[in-house]
Amino acid sequence: MDRFRSLRPHALRPTALFSAHAARDVIRPGFVHSGSPPFFRPCSYSVTAGSGTDTEQVNLRNPMATILLVEDNEMNRDMLSRRLERRGYVVICAMDGQQGVELARRSPPDLILMDMSLPVLDGWQATRLIKEDPVTRHIPVIALTAHAMAEDERKARESGCDDYDTKPVELDRLLKKMTKLLEPSAHEG
């Protein structure tokens, strides 16, 4: 950070700043002498850790996983995507099952969090389509639903979901399930 601050105003160019800290903790008033402030991208500390200096290296060889969040409720989508992004995940969002299937095919994520009660194409149908497609069948899917009965979990697993979690989301529990499914050994065999 000291090196960035020491640049002369005319030497400043568009800059991307990766930090494990919140933008408000890194970019203070008067931080940039001229031009626009740097593009800020939060990431986990493990991604930014390096030399221990203010100019730490970003390890782009080991980026965090990309998560496709298929959720029609704006408040749930916003809350969960922000919490995952703060932990370094790249989150892409779909607002209905059809859009989720299309995004999974176009840009296959590492894991899908699928709400089951969706418009256009519900989560059960969307998961079936994802698991039937050779391009996307390997992608783990975690069902997210407010329906907490054993029958609902069975139905989600029959449609192809690899795991099941209830709403409201308990983040620590969900992160454990995500971590387990994102391990390379989870896809071997």
pLDDT for 93 equals: 96
Q: Quote the pTM value.
A: 0.67
Specify the higher pLDDT residue, 99 or 148.
Answer: 99
Of all residues in the chain, what percent carry a pLDDT higher than 70? Answer: 64
The band of 147, judged by pLDDT with boundaries at 50, 70 and 90, is confident
Length of the chain: 189
Between CA 27 and CA 43 the distance in angstroms is: 15
Amino acid 7: pLDDT: 52
Task: Please report the sign of the dihedral spanned by the C-alpha atoms of residue 12, residue 16, residue 20, residue 21.
Answer: positive
Task: Give the pLDDT of residue 149.
Answer: 82
- Give Cα separations from 93 to 74, 100, 125 (angstroms): 10, 8, 18
The reported pLDDT for the residue numbered 189 is 44
Tell me the HSE value of 5 on the side-chain side, using a 13 A CA sphere. 9
Of residues 46 and 185, more confidence is placed in 185
The confidence band for 182, taking pLDDT boundaries of 50, 70 and 90, is very high
Q: 12-66 pLDDT, tens per residue?
A: 455 455 544 444 444 444 444 445 445 444 444 333 333 333 333 333 333 579 9
Task: Provide φ and ψ at 26, rounded to 5°.
Answer: -105, -45
* 116-133 core/surface letters (b: 16 or more CB in 10 A; e: else): bbbeebbbbbbbbbbbee
DSSP the chain: -HHHHHS-GGG----EEEESS-HHHHS-TTSSSSSPPPEEEE--HHHH-SSSSTTPPP-TTSPPPEEEEE---HHHHHHHHHHHHHTT-EEEEESSHHHHHHHHHHS--SEEEEESS-SSS-HHHHHHHHHHSTTTTTS-EEEEES--SHHHHHHHHHTT-SEEEESSP-HHHHHHHHHHHHSGGGG--
**CATH code for the domain defined by 66-184:** 3.40.50.2300
> Which band of pLDDT confidence, cut at 50, 70 and 90, is reported for residue 185?
low
Both tokens of residue 168? 């409201």
Q: What is the pLDDT of residues 58-102, one digit of tens each?
A: 333 335 799 999 999 999 999 999 999 999 899 999 999 999 999
**16 alpha carbon, distance to own chain's centre:** 19
Task: Tell me the average pLDDT across 142-158.
Answer: 88
Closest among 73, 104, 102, 99 to 169, alpha carbons compared: 73
Give domain limits for the chain. 15-60, 66-184
